[in-house]
Amino acid sequence: MITNRLSDEAVGVAEVLRDQLRQAGGVDLLRGAVAEPERRADAERILGGIGAWELNPLSDGVELEAAAMISQVAGEVGLPYPVAERLGHAEGAAATALVSATDNRHIASHADLDLAWSAVDFRGHAYDVVARSGELLGTKLGPFASEFTVQRRAERLPRTAALVTTLQGWWLLGLLKKSLTDTARYTREREQFGRALRGFQSVAFGLADMAVALDGLEELAKYALWSIREDGDGETALTDALSLRVAALEAAQVVLRGAHQYHGAMGFTDEVDVSWLSRASQSFRRLPEGESATQELLAARMSQYGFAAIFAETRTPDDANGEDRRAERG
């Protein structure tokens, strides 16, 4: 029976976390951690306090949904902590980063934190993290980005890759939802030419486009989660996770572009949350592979593994091998 509602437990956990993050300052946690990176420990403590690190998302459906909702609520404040990477960690690791299969430079937010790191790529390959620089990039768009080196393992972990990718999608969903809420409020309050910005049709249309992009993203995020629960070997789930990522990158462009535009100059200032959320979104949007590469990979996987649909005829056996080679080449 089709239902697009998450379990009450998952929704309940989200409410508790949202309340605690609000009390802890919301986006101020991000502002504080950029100034003093060691304050990321506050985020870890809050998440630990609600039992986030005891969840086992790959073996329990309710815990999987709870992990997704925790990621979303963390995203709403751009929480400075590797939430998706820790909640989705591979067995034997404490946090699992996403890496590119084609780029030799590996970099991810918070990889400096002293955790037992491993890595996976979008093709499902597993990696050992063999060395970490421990230094932060410290730029405006990558305040917590840190380099590391990896060594590919023989095993593949497509289900873990699907989980980390999907939880990152939920994190970005939360961030974009908050950005739209703030923008909708600002366009209602800010007046020009004697009326609210939202009264101008071009602004109203822009807000509608942002809302539609987010509504669709939320449903795809739920679908990707369900796919992880249902798909034991993880190949289908990984394709669905990549499709979520493609939709998330598209939505991020629509929503954050609109958020910047309709906030005017105010939207660039450190005073306004949207300015911080836009910056915090960057490491997810650009790493380990950007929009074009992710789209190309998705197209190849759709041919190789199919794409669940009611009237599906995507995969033809004759082509599967050829597409496989393209997928491997990336």
Binding-site ranges for another protein (CB under 8 A): 1-7, 61-62, 65, 181, 184-185, 188, 198, 201, 203-205, 207-209, 211-212, 215-217, 219-220, 222-223, 225-226, 229-230, 243, 246-247, 292, 295-296, 298-299, 302-303, 307, 309-316, 318-319, 322-323
Nearest of 69, 76, 96, 79 to residue 10 by alpha carbon: 69
Q: Considering beta carbons, is residue 35 or 310 the nearer one to another protein?
A: 310
CA distance 204 to 211: 11
List, in order, residues 6 or more apart from 306 with CB less than 8 Å away.
236, 239, 312, 314, 315
Do 237 and 224 touch, CB atoms closer than 8 A? yes
Q: Least distance from C-beta 26 to another protein, angstroms?
A: 18
Q: Considering beta carbons, is residue 65 or 112 the nearer one to another protein?
A: 65
Do 234 and 159 touch, CB atoms closer than 8 A? yes
Q: Considering beta carbons, is residue 104 or 316 the nearer one to another protein?
A: 316
Q: Least distance from C-beta 2 to another protein, angstroms?
A: 6
Q: Least distance from C-beta 322 to another protein, angstroms?
A: 6
Q: Considering beta carbons, is residue 41 or 312 the nearer one to another protein?
A: 312
Q: Considering beta carbons, is residue 226 or 284 the nearer one to another protein?
A: 226
Q: Least distance from C-beta 209 to another protein, angstroms?
A: 7
CA distance 158 to 133: 27
Long-range own/partner contacts, residues 265-268 (CB < 8 A, 24 or more apart):
266/186
| Helical ranges in 78-200 per DSSP H | 83-87, 158-189
Helix H or strand E segment including 153 = strand 145-156
Q: Least distance from C-beta 268 to another protein, angstroms?
A: 23
